[in-house]
């Protein structure tokens, strides 16, 4: 069929730009004194912008060198390409349609408030940094010399240097504005994502939302697919024809990343004036389910919806989806396609200036996470670009999606009214992504926000999206009276644990109620990046001896770091000791949680994956994407099948060594006949020298069931007399290959108090 479908005209490129700290741009001449009565009406077609700065769109204006917050103006002139002129398009379609074309101006991301004019006509306003929005400009567009003007206001919501202000935030910007991992002197602003003019027929598809339903026997071993899946395509159609009519609708569903035959479904839609919604049900035989990479294959489908009339295509809309089912059992028991899953992951914000990110950079990050054996990323109080979610779909990574609210927000009802539409925008934007598993509406929000703002958002979200898990907030123990609200709101809390950083030593974890470890969504310790990275943002004169003010401006908590490592004598030792401690911290915490798999722990998300600006933080990958040793410690501790021991304490001479050995298996397949090898090495007085002398070795055979944790045997030595350092090495293998390795160090020291082990 001949196609006259939508044409997207990019409006990116060089625009004119002017900051407006005094808010003169919308004033009329008579409102200003005579000396300044020409410094206004920036949206007028005759306004002279030749003295304005040039700026690239899309980009946060900070990325273009403008360290500014407040109102600013963008102007751009453009002509329609010949193929998009009203006259040429109308003549091509009038014979069949008896109508014309629509021109829609679409913005994919403006931070934060936007007011838009075209050719001197005001179009409207939008709030929120992440959601696309558009205006119909058909009656205002011209073939040549169109003027597009945008006023962007990205105000400083709070005084970032005043701690009490951080409890009064009214802008929904989350960790982009207020976070202990970002640059508090940068509050992003500007047209940071694409701008385009969409030319379509008078009847066009606004969006297509895909739901899937299927039956799967939970008793099936391993990964299996259902016999049939029901696809529900909800299609929003807009008609500007001015009269009701009908259109033919063809829906094609075909595999996107595997081989298979397409399914084509045809029907007729009755299209009234303006917007209409149509839900079409399609049976898909022998579907392939979407899984995380460790449980199966992240199978994806493309759905293409075409509407036509009289052999002419009116519009075509294509999107991608996956067939999967998420559910929650008792507490935080989480099921993907009927199989219980243990979360292994981290907290992620790509870059404080999101315009710096593109698909290649996102792919680098998501692959780094997957290579570290992670199956989930929590987007920390941020909505990322769509490319991030595309890659999580493709690579089989679940997303714990925060709404962009960090810590405490203002308590007024006005914020509730403004937040709920942005919640719907977030759900609409990400709805078809199978990777998105959880919506969360508060990161350590405090009682006031939890009971009002978080409650309103979570309640409305449960109505708006019934296919995902909804969490009202996450918290850390004893922050406020959370246990009382846990019962009142039937709130399954996912906790944050910082034993070994903010609190007591890592061993303090054993003092908490075991029931509080159902899901852990933050745990971490800071570490310096490598010297090469550090020298890129800390001035040479401030590196060593360290000028703490400079380090603190880059997020470093030197007082806490020096609680856990020896006082450094030089910069290289400082870097090495901080990185070694972080790696120890992450190994200890991660193994502690994994040994409680499903009893009661269902997952652990480390804080945080990467730096979103040049900084010294809890990240395991620095801003320049160089992994720290903590990254490799996580990679090992997150091995889907792993051998773990009880963490050995230092011993007094003559004390016994007695450690439990555990095998944790997150795969949906059993491993029969595995071999566990244990080797105890004595390394003398210097643990850094040589492999050591073999003191004892043990090995045993065991069968490991799918998705389980089992205690193997105990590694026991009646007593250790030799003073010095020891290393316990563990190897898990089958008859062909090594599946996992692990190691623990401890010492025998006369200074250790001998314990009564009766």
- pLDDT tens for each residue of 547-568: 999 999 999 999 999 999 999 9
- pLDDT tens for each residue of 401-428: 999 999 999 999 999 999 999 999 999 9
In terms of domains, do 552 and 614 share one?
Answer: yes
Query: E-assigned strands of 331-442?
Result: 334-336, 339-340, 343-348, 376-379, 398-402, 436-440
Q: Quick check: is 193 in a domain? A: yes
- pLDDT tens for each residue of 460-503: 999 999 999 999 999 999 888 888 888 899 999 999 999 999 99
- Per-residue pLDDT band for 690 (boundaries 50, 70, 90) equals confident
Domain C-terminal end among 290, 321, 352? 321
Average pLDDT over residues 608-632: 98
Q: Quick check: is 754 in a domain? A: no
Segments forming the whole domain that contains residue 466: 328-638
CATH number of the domain to which 405 belongs: 3.20.20.80
Average pLDDT over residues 517-538: 98
Q: Quick check: is 1 in a domain? A: no
In this predicted structure, what is the pLDDT of residue 83?
A: 67
Q: Quick check: is 688 in a domain? A: yes
**pLDDT higher than 80, residue 180:** yes
In terms of domains, do 284 and 192 share one?
Answer: no
CATH number of the domain to which 235 belongs: 2.60.40.10
Average pLDDT over residues 183-206: 96
Give helix then strand counts, H and E, for the chain.
Answer: 13, 37
In terms of domains, do 462 and 433 share one?
Answer: yes
In terms of domains, do 23 and 42 share one?
Answer: yes
In this predicted structure, what is the pLDDT of residue 96?
A: 31
Cis peptide before 473 (omega within 30 of 0): no
Q: Quick check: is 588 in a domain? A: yes
Give me the percent of the chain exceeding a pLDDT of 70: 95
In this predicted structure, what is the pLDDT of residue 199?
A: 96
Of residues 106 and 220, more confidence is placed in 106
Q: Quick check: is 633 in a domain? A: yes
Average pLDDT over residues 725-753: 95
In terms of domains, do 302 and 385 share one?
Answer: no
Question: How many domains is the chain built from?
Answer: 4
In terms of domains, do 263 and 248 share one?
Answer: yes
Average pLDDT over residues 519-535: 98
**pLDDT higher than 80, residue 220:** no
Query: E-assigned strands of 119-258?
Result: 121-127, 133-136, 146-154, 190-191, 195-201, 203-214, 228-239, 245-255
Q: Quick check: is 753 in a domain? A: no
Least confidently predicted of 77-91, 369-383, 417-431, 556-570: 77-91
Six-digit token pair at 532?
A: 């090469």
Average pLDDT over residues 192-202: 97
In terms of domains, do 73 and 163 share one?
Answer: yes
In terms of domains, do 387 and 356 share one?
Answer: yes
In terms of domains, do 349 and 421 share one?
Answer: yes
**pLDDT higher than 60, residue 717:** yes
Domain C-terminal end among 175, 200, 225? 200
- pLDDT tens for each residue of 573-588: 999 999 999 999 999 9
Average pLDDT over residues 251-276: 96
- What is the rounded CA–CA span in Å between residue 296 and residue 377? 18
In terms of domains, do 207 and 179 share one?
Answer: no
- Per-residue pLDDT band for 572 (boundaries 50, 70, 90) equals very high
Domain C-terminal end among 152, 183, 200? 200
CA atoms 179, 183, 189, 192: torsion sign:
negative
Q: Quick check: is 738 in a domain? A: yes
- What is the rounded CA–CA span in Å between residue 346 and residue 398? 11
In terms of domains, do 291 and 345 share one?
Answer: no
CB environment 42-59: b (16+ within 10 A), e (fewer): bbeeebebeebeebbbbb
In terms of domains, do 220 and 194 share one?
Answer: no
In this predicted structure, what is the pLDDT of residue 473?
A: 95
């Amino acid at each position: 069929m001949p196609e006259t479908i939508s044409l997207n005209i990019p409006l990116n490129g060089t625009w004119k730009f002017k900051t407006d700290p005094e808010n003169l741009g919308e004033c009329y001449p008579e409102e200003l004194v005579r000396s300044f009565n020409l410094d206004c009406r920036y949206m007028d077609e005759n306004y002279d912008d030749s003295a304005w700065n040039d700026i690239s769109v899309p980009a946060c204006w900070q990325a273009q060198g403008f360290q500014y917050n407040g109102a600013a103006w963008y102007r751009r002139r453009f002509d329609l390409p010949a193929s998009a002129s009203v006259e040429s398009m109308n003549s091509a379609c009038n014979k069949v349609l008896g109508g014309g074309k629509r021109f829609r101006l679409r913005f994919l991301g403006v931070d934060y408030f936007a007011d838009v004019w075209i050719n001197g006509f005001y179009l409207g306003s939008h709030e929120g940094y992440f959601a696309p929005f558009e205006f119909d400009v058909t009656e205002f567009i011209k073939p040549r010399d169109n003027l597009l003007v945008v006023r962007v206001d990205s105000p400083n919501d709070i005084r970032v240097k005043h701690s009490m202000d951080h409890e009064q935030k009214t802008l929904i910007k989350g960790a982009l504005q207020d976070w202990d991992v970002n640059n508090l002197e940068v509050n992003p602003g500007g047209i940071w994502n694409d701008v385009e003019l969409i030319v379509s027929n008078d009847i066009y598809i606004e969006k297509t939302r895909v739901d899937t339903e299927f039956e799967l026997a939970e008793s099936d071993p391993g990964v299996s697919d259902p016999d049939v899946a029901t696809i529900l395509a909800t299609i929003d159609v807009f008609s500007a024809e001015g009269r009701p009519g009908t259109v033919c609708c063809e829906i094609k569903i075909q595999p996107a990343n595997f081989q298979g035959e397409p399914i084509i479904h045809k029907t007729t839609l009755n299209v009234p004036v303006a917007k209409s919604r149509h839900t079409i049900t399609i049976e898909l035989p022998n579907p392939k389910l979407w899984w995380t990479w460790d449980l199966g294959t992240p199978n994806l489908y493309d759905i293409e919806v075409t509407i036509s009339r009289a052999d002419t295509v009116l519009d075509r809309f294509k999107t991608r989806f996956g067939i999967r089912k998420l559910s929650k059992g008792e507490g935080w028991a989480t099921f993907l396609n009927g199989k219980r899953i243990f979360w292994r992951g981290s907290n992620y914000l790509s870059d404080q200036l999101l315009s710096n990110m593109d698909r290649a950079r996102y792919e680098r990050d998501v692959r780094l996470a997957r290579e570290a054996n992670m199956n989930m990323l929590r987007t920390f109080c941020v909505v990322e670009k769509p490319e991030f979610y595309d890659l999580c779909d493709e690579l089989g990574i679940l997303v714990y999606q925060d709404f962009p609210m960090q810590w405490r927000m203002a308590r007024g009802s006005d914020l509730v009214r403004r937040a709920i539409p942005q919640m719907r925008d977030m759900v609409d934007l990400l709805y078809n992504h199978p990777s998105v598993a959880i919506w969360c509406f508060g990161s350590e929000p405090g009682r006031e926000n939890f009971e009002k703002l978080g409650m309103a958002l979570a309640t409305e979200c449960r109505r708006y999206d019934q296919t995902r898990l909804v969490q009202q907030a996450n918290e850390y123990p004893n922050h406020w009276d959370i246990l009382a609200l846990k019962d009142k709101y039937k709130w399954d809390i996912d906790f944050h644990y910082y034993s070994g950083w903010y609190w007591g030593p890592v061993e303090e974890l054993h003092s908490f109620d075991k029931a509080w470890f159902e899901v852990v969504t933050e745990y971490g310790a800071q570490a310096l990046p490598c010297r090469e990275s550090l020298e890129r943002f800390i001035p040479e004169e401030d590196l060593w001896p360290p000028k703490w003010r400079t380090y603190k401006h880059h997020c470093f908590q030197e007082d806490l770091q020096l609680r856990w490592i020896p006082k450094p004598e030089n910069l290289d030792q400082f870097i090495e000791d901080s990185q070694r401690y972080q790696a120890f911290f992450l190994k200890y915490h991660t193994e502690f949680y994994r040994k409680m798999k499903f009893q009661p722990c269902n997952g652990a998300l480390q804080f945080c994956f990467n730096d979103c600006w040049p900084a010294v933080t809890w990240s395991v990958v620095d801003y320049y994407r160089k992994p720290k040793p903590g990254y490799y410690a996580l990679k090992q501790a997150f091995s889907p099948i792993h051998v773990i021991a009880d963490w050995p304490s230092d011993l007094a001479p003559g004390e016994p060594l007695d450690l439990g050995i555990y095998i944790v298996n997150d795969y949906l397949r059993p491993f029969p006949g595995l071999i566990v090898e244990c080797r105890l090495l004595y390394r003398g007085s210097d643990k850094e020298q040589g492999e050591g002398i073999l003191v004892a070795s043990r090995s045993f055979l065991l069968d490991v069931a799918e998705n389980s944790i089992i205690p193997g045997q105990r590694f026991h030595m009646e007593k250790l007399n030799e003073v010095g350092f020891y290393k316990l090495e563990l190897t898990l293998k089958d008859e062909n290959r090594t599946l996992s390795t692990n190691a623990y160090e401890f010492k025998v020291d006369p200074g250790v108090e001998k314990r009564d082990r009766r």
